[in-house]
Amino acid sequence: MLRTRPQPNGWRLGPHVAGGLTLAHYAGFEICPSLPALKQRLAASMPSHTAAGIHVMASQNEAGEVILGDSHDYETPLDPFDAAEIEDSIVTYARRMLRLPDWSIAARWHGVYAKGPRGPIFTAEPQPGCHVMGSPGGAGMTLAFGLAERWWTTTQRG
C-alpha cells in the first residue's frame, strides 16, 4: 500500500477508483460470464501483476492524500521489507488510470490478513442477544452490509 503527500491546491480525486485488475481479484465479480476470458487476458498481458496479486485502486482521504494499492502475494514467506518492483508496478499501472498533480509517496506499508479455518466470515453470540460478525480476511468493508442484511433477514428481526 502507498500513500501520496496531500495533493496541492485542494485537488480532489472524487469517488474511489478501481482498475480492471480489480475485477480479476475480488470473488464478488465471479458471477460475470466474461471473467474467465479477462483473467486469461490479464495473465498473458500482465504476468508479473497477476503473479503478485496486484490490482490497483485509489481513494483520497480528507487530508488530500491518495491511498494506492495493492498486491496480494500469499505464497511468499512473510518478509518485513516491501519489494520495490511491486511498488513500481502499482504506481506504473495507477499512472495509466489517474492524473495526480503530485505522485510523491509519503508512506508505504503492508498488512497481513488474519484468516480463520472456516472461511472469511466469523460469527459468534458471546451472550444471548449479543451478536458479533466480522470478516477478518480483508473483505469486511465490502461484505459488511450484505452480511448484516442477511443476518437480519434470516433471524427474522426485520
For residue range 122-131, what is the model confidence (pLDDT) as tens digits? 788 899 988 8
Look at residues 3, 24, 141, 138 and name the one whose alpha carbon lies nearest to residue 68.
3
Provide the domain count of the chain. Answer: 2
Is residue 9 assigned to a domain? Answer: yes
DSSP state letters, the chain: -EEEPPPGGG----S-EE-HHHHHH-GGGTT-TTHHHHHHHHHHH-HHHHHTT---EEEE-TTS-EEEE-----SSPP-SS--HHHHHHHHHHHHHH---S---EEEE-------BTTBS-EEEEEETTEEEEE-TTTTHHHHHHHHHHHHHHHTT--
Residues 19 and 66 in one domain: yes
Domain of 85? 2-108
Is residue 96 assigned to a domain? Answer: yes
Residues 13 and 59 in one domain: yes
Residues 65 and 133 in one domain: no
Query: What's the chain's length in residues?
Result: 158
For residue range 12-41, what is the model confidence (pLDDT) as tens digits? 999 999 988 888 888 788 899 999 999 999
Q: What is the rounded distance in angstroms from the CA atom of residue 28 to the CA atom of residue 138?
A: 13
Which pLDDT score is estimated for 56?
92
Residues 97 and 131 in one domain: no
Which pLDDT score is estimated for 60?
96
Is residue 83 assigned to a domain? Answer: yes
How are beta strands 122-127 and 130-134 bridged, if at all? antiparallel
Which pLDDT score is estimated for 110?
79
Residues 9 and 66 in one domain: yes
Is residue 117 assigned to a domain? Answer: no
Is residue 58 assigned to a domain? Answer: yes
pLDDT in tens, the chain (158 residues): 899 999 999 999 999 999 888 888 887 888 999 999 999 999 999 999 988 889 899 999 999 999 998 888 767 777 777 788 989 999 999 999 999 999 999 999 877 666 667 767 778 889 998 888 777 666 655 666 677 777 778 776 54
Confirm whether pTM is higher than 0.85.
no
Distances (CA, A) of 43 to 13, 40, 51, 89: 29, 5, 8, 15
Is residue 14 assigned to a domain? Answer: yes
Residues 63 and 134 in one domain: no
Residues 102 and 50 in one domain: yes
Is residue 52 assigned to a domain? Answer: yes
Is residue 113 assigned to a domain? Answer: no
